[in-house]
A and B are shown apart, each in its own frame.
Chain A
Amino acid sequence: GQGVEQPAKLMSVEGTFARVNCTYSTSGFNGLSWYQQREGQAPVFLSYVVLDGLKDSGHFSTFLSRSNGYSYLLLTELQIKDSASYLCAVRDPGGYKVVFGSGTRLLVSP
């Protein structure tokens, strides 16, 4: 089985950066996705990583270390509108299932 853990809350300041951490335990691995979910809305796909290292996608970047079961989502030049929950999701190699973490609620203050 798989467990996906994320800190519940994170606070940062407009114009700076925020790093949203995700750790997972798995008997196998078939990729990790990040989603953004605003209050009262559906999750929206941000990024997918399957190889180790940093994947730079501009405002959002993602890092993966498979040997450590660790990923993070890095948001740079934060804006107030980046305040949302960020969900980490790990694909189960045994099938089609995806296991979601409980999400990190990011609050960006002025």
Chain B
Amino acid sequence: DMKVTQMPRYLIKRMGENVLLECGQDMSHETMYWYRQDPGLGLQLIYISYDVDSNSEGDIPKGYRVSRKKREHFSLILDSAKTNQTSVYFCASSLSGLGGPEQYFGPGTRLTVL
């Protein structure tokens, strides 16, 4: 059963705290993504990972960093979270190079920064 998981599903943090969002996939997909989704703005790409330790900035990387030490895991880190990072964060994976036509999304993490 192909699956992308995200932990935690809901998170409340105070401004200035560090945040770790975790994503896992069981499909051995090479490419993984982190997006955030805000009302009216759609999905915005934060980072792409092409494989282990091979990551690239997306359209809005400022304030975020990522880590991928195993193919099946991709983490998003917010060092000193800001209130404008309150959002829903989605992780996704795809099969092959050039991103593959189909991205599989995790259920999302709803982050609130107070």
Q: How far is the CA of A48 from the CA of B100 in the complex (A)?
A: 10
Total count of chain A residues near the partner, CB < 8 A: 22
- Tell me if B11 counts as interface (CB < 8 A to partner A): no
- State which of B41, B48, B90 has its C-beta within 8 Å of the C-beta of A43: B90
Q: How far is the CB of B45 from the nearest CB of chain A, in Å?
A: 6
> CB-defined interface of A57-97 with B at 8 Å, one 1/0 digit per residue?
00000000000000000000000000000010101000111
* B99 contacts A103, C-beta separation under 8 Å: no
- Range for the number of chain B residues in contact with chain A: 20 to 34
| Known pairs A45-B104, A99-B59 / 14 extra A-B pairs, C-beta < 8 Å | A33-B102, A42-B90, A44-B105, A45-B101, A45-B102, A45-B103, A91-B98, A95-B56, A96-B99, A97-B59, A98-B33, A98-B99, A98-B103, A101-B42
| A-B pairs with beta carbons under 8 Å apart, 18 shown | A8-B40, A30-B98, A31-B101, A33-B103, A42-B108, A43-B43, A43-B90, A48-B101, A96-B97, A96-B98, A96-B99, A97-B48, A99-B45, A100-B42, A100-B43, A100-B44, A102-B40, A103-B42
